[in-house]
Amino acid sequence: MALSRIVAVFTVIWFAASVAAAPIKLYCLGVFADGSPLQTELSIDEDFGEVKFGQGKQNTLELRSTDAYKYEWASTDDGTNFVTILNRFSGELTSFRKVKDGDPQIHFQAMCYTQNDRKF
């Protein structure tokens, strides 16, 4: 009887530890450096260490850094490197374009919101 209780307790602990948290879904609105509008969805999955962005056809990138303050990921497009940082407190999303012989330049800035932040 005691053995079955121990097995039951370990089963509950194992199951609770194996339940994955749902990805965080965000809606982001902002502007690119050239003034064109940015509107995208983000899905951040800490369990798998990835971020998906876009509507319809999504792009999946690996989270490079995750801590209490920010999420950070990197990408490359046509030989240009980008680093994107999402502030976990303010919801500010900033992407930097890294040029070979110069300082990083802002590629876009946006604010990200949860579905609960929508007004209507």
Q: Is the pLDDT of residue 84 over 80?
A: yes
Strand blocks (E) in 35-116: 37-45, 50-53, 59-66, 70-77, 80-87, 92-98, 105-113
Segment 25-62, tens digit of pLDDT: 999 999 999 999 999 999 999 999 999 988 766 788 89
Dist. CA 57–CA 82, nearest whole Å: 20
Segment 66-81, tens digit of pLDDT: 899 999 999 988 888 9
The domain ranges of the chain are: 21-117
Q: Kindly indicate whether the domain formed by 21-117 is annotated with CATH number 3.40.50.410.
A: no
Tokens in use for 15? 């199951």
Contact 95, 64 (CB under 8 A): no
pTM over 0.95: no
Segment 95-106, tens digit of pLDDT: 999 987 888 999
More confident residue, 14 or 46: 46
